Amino acid sequence: MTLLPSFGDRLNVVVLGASGGIGSALVDLLDAQSNVERVFAFSRSGQTRTGHKIVRGAIDYADEDSIVRAAQRVATWGPCHLVIVATGFLHDGQGNGPEKSYRALTGDGLATSFQVNTIGPALAARYFVPLLPRESKAVFAALSARVGSISDNRLGGWYGYRASKAALNMLIKTLAIEVSRNRKDTICVGLHPGTVDTTLSQPFQAGVAEDKLFASEYAAGHLLSVINGLTPDDSGHTFAWDGARIPF
């Protein structure tokens, strides 16, 4: 059984942020797919769970060389058909971020948001897109967020997170345009997982209805289903967990 039948057989899949709530659920679920041969699980510590299909490694966005080394290592195993960037930053767990007011903006805080939510995924695209096969369906997907939609911003707040995710959406759109010129079956998208019960959302779960707070496993299953259904016409856009396109 597989949630990814549209890709064919013997898939190599890369997950960045494999230590996170959603990233680790994706690794678990990918490991269980019959047509997935290998899951490359990258995290800052390099210490995610083990498994016979799982190849672990370290990536820290503060060290660009770590991304280069990771991509070189994956390349030695052949093409990789799906890359999922599941890294992200909203708060540091010490009361810093997200900003409710412009008065709370700091250069360091904004730099961290952009480093993790925009620059890291952009560098992941730089080094991992060349590993995608040209002759079959391939997907580069980065976890974005609905709050990165400029037209959907009705509440304000969360300046750095919103802006860095909006910038990520623009990077994905630009990447999709370039990639479509010589890789017609490669699809580049942003994905919104819904509100998911992880460390990232934990301080903000109080006002979320029980049926709107997803378990990581539930979100991961929906994300793989969305990825499975993607076609080249979808490239450049951001999709929610239920497959609905999110406006820019």
Does 17 bind ligand NAP (CB under 6 A)? Our answer is yes
Q: Measuring CA to CA, how many Å separate 64 from each of 47, 59, 120, 153, 244?
A: 19, 8, 8, 32, 33
Does 23 bind ligand NAP (CB under 6 A)? Our answer is yes
d(CA 141, CA 172): 9
Q: Measuring CA to CA, how many Å separate 22 from each of 32, 116, 132?
A: 16, 16, 23
Q: From the CB of 85, what's the least distance to ligand NAP, in Å?
A: 7
Candidates 7, 41, 80, 87: give the one binding ligand NAP (CB under 6 A). 87
Considering only residues 97-136, where is the footprint of ligand NAP by CB under 6 A?
116, 120
The interface region with ligand NAP, picked from 5-13, 68-76, 125-133, 198-206 by CB under 6 A, is: 198-206
Would you say 4 or 67 has its CB closer to ligand NAP?
67
Does 66 bind ligand NAP (CB under 6 A)? Our answer is no
Task: Label residue 233 exposed, middle or buried (CB < 10 Å: 0-12, 13-18, 19+).
Answer: exposed
| Three-state DSSP class for residue 45 | coil
d(CA 47, CA 84): 18
Instruction: Retrieve residue 45's tokens.
Output: 């510590």
Q: What share of the chain is helix, strand, coil (3-state, %, to 5)?
A: 40, 20, 40
Does 59 bind ligand NAP (CB under 6 A)? Our answer is yes
Q: From the CB of 182, what's the least distance to ligand NAP, in Å?
A: 28
Candidates 198, 224, 238, 240: give the one binding ligand NAP (CB under 6 A). 198
User: For residue 188, what is the DSSP state?
Assistant: E
The interface region with ligand NAP, picked from 2-10, 95-103, 199-207, 220-228 by CB under 6 A, is: 199-207
Phi, psi (5° rounding) for residue 173?
Answer: -60, -45
The interface region with ligand NAP, picked from 72-80, 128-136, 195-203, 235-243 by CB under 6 A, is: 195-203
Considering only residues 207-246, where is the footprint of ligand NAP by CB under 6 A?
none
Does 164 bind ligand NAP (CB under 6 A)? Our answer is no
Site of interaction with ligand NAP (CB under 6 A): 17, 19-23, 43-45, 59-62, 86-89, 116, 120, 143, 145, 192-193, 195-196, 198-201
